[in-house]
Amino acid sequence: MALPSTETSRHDNTLAVIRTLRDQGPVARVDLGALNGISSATVTSISTELLQQGLISERPPETPRPTGRGRPKTLIELNAQAACVVCIKLSINEIQLVVGDFTGQVRHSEHHTVSTLTLSADDLAVLLEEKIDAACDQLLGGFQRLAGICLAVQGVVSSQNGTIIWSPALSFRNARISARLTERFHCSVLLENDANCIASVLAAKPDYADCPNMVVIMLGYGIGMSVLINGVPYLGANGSAAEFGHSKYQPDGALCACGRRGCIEAYASDYALYRAAAEHLNLPAGDSAHPSEQQMQALTQLAMNGDPAAQRIYAEAGRALGIGIANILALFNPDLVLITGSGVRGFDAMQATMHHAIDEALVAELRGTTRIESCAWDRDMTCMGGIAMALNATDGETLLESQTAREA
Amino acid sequence: MALPSTETSRHDNTLAVIRTLRDQGPVARVDLGALNGISSATVTSISTELLQQGLISERPPETPRPTGRGRPKTLIELNAQAACVVCIKLSINEIQLVVGDFTGQVRHSEHHTVSTLTLSADDLAVLLEEKIDAACDQLLGGFQRLAGICLAVQGVVSSQNGTIIWSPALSFRNARISARLTERFHCSVLLENDANCIASVLAAKPDYADCPNMVVIMLGYGIGMSVLINGVPYLGANGSAAEFGHSKYQPDGALCACGRRGCIEAYASDYALYRAAAEHLNLPAGDSAHPSEQQMQALTQLAMNGDPAAQRIYAEAGRALGIGIANILALFNPDLVLITGSGVRGFDAMQATMHHAIDEALVAELRGTTRIESCAWDRDMTCMGGIAMALNATDGETLLESQTAREA
């Protein structure tokens, strides 16, 4: 049933207050009103209700400084224990599980090495259930409820249907995963492409505040992308938009992990770089189809130290990346292209040929004024984004649950 | 000054009534209410006001059929004379000027052959002013006012700034054209990419009603594109998005009219096809850099008749188009890719290699369920779209002017 419009507006204002407290930390009531364009009477009424529901608490005023005038303000802040959310990042041979509290802070993080490619869809669901269960057993004593789960997956997902369509980390396809976790944990489950989680973190940074149309390219084992249009991830008709790694550099070119030829990924991803290098260079042994961080750092170091073969490989990767980005500029004309991911370690060895390829490919009018920048990689960024998205998606439910609990 | 919310809603309802009458033709008051979710009291009040303003008129009920029961309904319809709009389509060596009435019907159309590439920005403005003036002199006796102008241009435009950034039809760049026409004709001036005008016509067709994310590719002298995301043209940061023709097929490949190499346009546009053919085939002479419709039809006919050289040229064009479309599928994952434009005359000779290239380039999960179709070309489609867009953009002003005129 739709709420009457005054209740909708009260609900929206309450969510705005919660989000402001999450973004800004402790805030005085008067500032909450000003930041959200809400009257002070409404802020007072909302904060009284949230206090009663246990979703916020008051922070006693600090002792006024000798020079301070007037009564110091009481700050209000989110109650970190009001709810927690879990984000699980699923990538090749690794699962990371992070628990975030109601303020969005990470309270727990664990990594597991798992042969993801040998899992069946059922194995994966059982594994995720076990890991979430274990984390909940350990942590839920401290939290009022598990509000939501975000599953951040490399590859193509349908967020709407909760289906992993295709991931380089998995050998099965079209697995309906969200419904099963929802049933098991009685909370909402978000299924997201990992690049969209990262883009949501980056888009919140003040440096990119004037970039509503932003493209984030993730270099790593594969190559991912997120396209934000007016700040919202563009998903396409079935969730398979923004597959930059499988756009083409050279028709009939190098073999890609997807099984086709000539994809950008077949030149500029970790496995492609290591594959090209393996023939010519003395590099750490291992599974060269899935090179480790140590192997990739050894290869990058060779290029940075001036080894001509390593330099040639990175130069070609930069050129492929440049042609791919030229297509992005021609088709999306974004405000910003931001290159990140673990593969950004080799960006210095790629960027000269990348910029050259872009300039060669496009006339100035199509090159436009798009900023093209790289951004240091933080392996926790995906889960940070997933936690923020899960909290955003579940604030409404948390509010409802707390109201119901209070009224009962 | 912002209107109070009740007035905003009255204004929106009035615009909805006008648009329904434009889309559906004459409609009874009761149906206008049902179609727009407006109470019959509001429809009565709105239609009384529109009648007084001269924007609509009543159509007397037809004689009831012998089997009809009850009183026949009075229909209301837009007053075609209430306003007119002008759309000018600017393409290489041709200007088309069309006048549409308030119902959206074309009342006048004229074509002019003009050496567009020899014009200065000032020449162009003077020429457009002359042509619009002449049309107004001839027609404005019949219309209450000129409500707006739409300039539909091949190439990159900034709709927001009213600037033609770059067009293959013009040798100058970055010309602020809208402000000058606004000043001269005292009406609002829309500047649009021609492909967006065409997409707006196609998106309104019932066949594509389930395709909110739609890509329209225009084959012709150049290759244009419009991307509708949830039905709205995606423009990018500076208006240069959707430049499909200059996305890449072969880095360092064939020379494009833009001056760079390897663009899709350098293989699949009219000039590229004719250039490739000129070396091998006996074709009508003329300016082969700007082949005429007759020259292109002769070339297409050769391919359709089985000439191996002509077939090879179209096959390669189809392959370039296919690789370009594969990138569109990977990046935009649209519901529909629709291929049209005058160059669709050669589509039968291209489509086998086009489909083959798409299937070779993308795995099934990325190929997705996107419909890829062609659509017969109608050279008047651009102006039809421009007229609809100009009317939509100016309905609010027409309403205001009519109110003011009545109150004065």
Residue with tokens 């919660």: A18
Is residue A388 a contact partner of residue A350, using CB atoms and an 8 Å limit? Answer: no
Indicate whether A1 pLDDT > 50.
Answer: no
Mean pLDDT of chain A: 92
B247 touches chain A (CB under 8 A): yes
Is residue B158 a contact partner of residue B238, using CB atoms and an 8 Å limit? Answer: yes
Mean pLDDT of chain B: 92
Query: Which of B236, B82, B402 is CA-nearest to residue A229?
Result: B236
| Known catalytic membership, residue B194 | yes
pLDDT value of position A139: 79
pLDDT value of position B65: 58
Q: Determine whether the interchain pair B213/A366 forms a contact, defined as Cβ–Cβ distance below 8 Å.
A: no
Instruction: Quote the CA–CA distance of A159 and A190 in Å, as a whole number.
Output: 7
Residue A357 to chain B, least CA–CA distance (Å):
9
Is residue A218 a contact partner of residue A198, using CB atoms and an 8 Å limit? Answer: yes
Rounded to an integer, the average pLDDT of B63-77 is: 72
3-state class (DSSP) for residue A17: helix
pLDDT tens profile B157-182? 999 899 999 998 999 999 999 999 99
% of chain B residues with pLDDT over 90:
81
What residues in B contact A250, CB-CB < 8 Å? 250-251
Q: Determine whether the interchain pair A234/B239 forms a contact, defined as Cβ–Cβ distance below 8 Å.
A: no
Q: Determine whether the interchain pair B331/A326 forms a contact, defined as Cβ–Cβ distance below 8 Å.
A: no
pLDDT value of position A390: 96
Indicate whether A300 pLDDT > 70.
Answer: yes
Instruction: Quote the CA–CA distance of A399 and A386 in Å, as a whole number.
Output: 20
Residues of A (252-281) whose Cβ lies below 8 Å from B: 258-262
**Domains of chain A from N-terminus onward:** 6-60+72-78 (1.10.10.10), 82-186+381-407 (3.30.420.40), 209-374 (3.30.420.40)
In A137-279, DSSP assigns E strands to: 146-153, 156-158, 163-166, 175-176, 188-193, 214-219, 223-229, 232-233
- Which 8-state DSSP code applies to residue A71? P
A208 touches chain B (CB under 8 A): no
pLDDT tens profile A107-125? 999 999 999 999 999 999 9
Q: Mean pLDDT highest for which of A49-63, A127-141, A225-239?
A: A225-239
Parallel, antiparallel, or unpaired: how do β-strands B336-340 and B214-219 relate? parallel
Cβ atoms within 10 Å, residue B164: 27
pLDDT tens profile A152-173? 999 899 998 999 999 989 999 9
pLDDT value of position A115: 95
Is residue A23 a contact partner of residue A78, using CB atoms and an 8 Å limit? Answer: no
pLDDT tens profile B271-292? 999 999 988 888 888 777 889 9
- Which 8-state DSSP code applies to residue A245? G
Nearest residue of B to residue A319, measured between CA atoms: B251
Residues of B (136-195) whose Cβ lies below 8 Å from A: 156, 165-166, 173
Helix (H) or strand (E) holding A273: helix A270-278
pLDDT value of position B258: 92
Class of residue A260 by CB neighbours under 10 A (exposed 0-12, middle 13-18, buried 19+): buried
- Which 8-state DSSP code applies to residue A248? B
Q: Which of A27-31, A63-67, A151-155 has the lowest mean pLDDT?
A: A63-67
Query: Which of B128, B245, B144, B104 is CA-nearest to residue B191?
Result: B128
Residue A224 to chain B, least CA–CA distance (Å):
11
Residue A321 to chain B, least CA–CA distance (Å):
12
CA angle B238, B239, B245 (to 5 degrees): 120
Of the partner residues B243, B363, B365, the one whose CB lies closest to the CB of residue A330 = B243
Of the partner residues A238, A260, A334, the one whose CB lies closest to the CB of residue B236 = A334
Instruction: Quote the CA–CA distance of B129 and B180 in Å, as a whole number.
Output: 9
Residue B223 to chain A, least CA–CA distance (Å):
13
pLDDT tens profile B322-353? 999 999 999 999 999 999 999 999 999 999 99
Nearest residue of A to residue B166, measured between CA atoms: A365
Indicate whether B66 pLDDT > 80.
Answer: no
Helix (H) or strand (E) holding A91: strand A84-91
Q: How confident is the model at residue B2 (pLDDT cuts 50, 70, 90)?
A: very low
3-state class (DSSP) for residue A316: helix
Picking from A172, A365, A370 by the largest number of B CB atoms within 10 A of its own CB, the best residue to mutate is A365
Q: How confident is the model at residue A201 (pLDDT cuts 50, 70, 90)?
A: very high
B234 touches chain A (CB under 8 A): yes
Indicate whether A408 pLDDT > 80.
Answer: no
Rounded to an integer, the average pLDDT of B57-73 is: 71
Is residue B84 a contact partner of residue B100, using CB atoms and an 8 Å limit? Answer: yes
pLDDT value of position B296: 96
What residues in A contact B357, CB-CB < 8 Å? 251
Q: Determine whether the interchain pair A330/B361 forms a contact, defined as Cβ–Cβ distance below 8 Å.
A: no
3-state class (DSSP) for residue A405: helix
Instruction: Quote the CA–CA distance of A77 and A57 in Å, as a whole number.
Output: 6
Indicate whether A264 pLDDT > 60.
Answer: yes
Class of residue B117 by CB neighbours under 10 A (exposed 0-12, middle 13-18, buried 19+): middle
Residues of A (298-357) whose Cβ lies below 8 Å from B: 319, 323, 326-328, 330-335, 357
Per the structure block, which two tokens stand in for B370?
């996107």
pLDDT value of position A364: 93
Class of residue B278 by CB neighbours under 10 A (exposed 0-12, middle 13-18, buried 19+): middle
Class of residue A160 by CB neighbours under 10 A (exposed 0-12, middle 13-18, buried 19+): exposed
Is residue B299 a contact partner of residue B281, using CB atoms and an 8 Å limit? Answer: yes
pLDDT value of position A375: 95
Indicate whether B1 pLDDT > 50.
Answer: no
Is residue A43 a contact partner of residue A73, using CB atoms and an 8 Å limit? Answer: no
Is residue B91 a contact partner of residue B270, using CB atoms and an 8 Å limit? Answer: no
Q: Which one of B31, B123, B133, B194 is the catalytic residue?
A: B194
Residue B372 to chain A, least CA–CA distance (Å):
14
**Which phi-psi region, left, alpha or beta, contains residue B25 (left: φ > 0; alpha: ψ -120 to 50)?**
left
pLDDT value of position A230: 95
Return the amino acid letter for A180.
Answer: R
Rounded to an integer, the average pLDDT of A268-296 is: 89
What residues in A contact B332, CB-CB < 8 Å? 234, 236, 241, 331
Instruction: Quote the CA–CA distance of A392 and A148 in Å, as a whole number.
Output: 10
A5 touches chain B (CB under 8 A): no
B289 or A342, which is more confident: A342
3-state class (DSSP) for residue A333: coil
What residues in B contact A366, CB-CB < 8 Å? 156, 166, 240, 243, 246, 258
**Which phi-psi region, left, alpha or beta, contains residue A177 (left: φ > 0; alpha: ψ -120 to 50)?**
alpha
Indicate whether B105 pLDDT > 60.
Answer: yes
Is residue A313 a contact partner of residue A276, using CB atoms and an 8 Å limit? Answer: yes
Rounded to an integer, the average pLDDT of A362-366 is: 94
Per the structure block, which two tokens stand in for B252?
């360092």
Query: Which of B190, B185, B193, B98 is CA-nearest to residue B150?
Result: B190
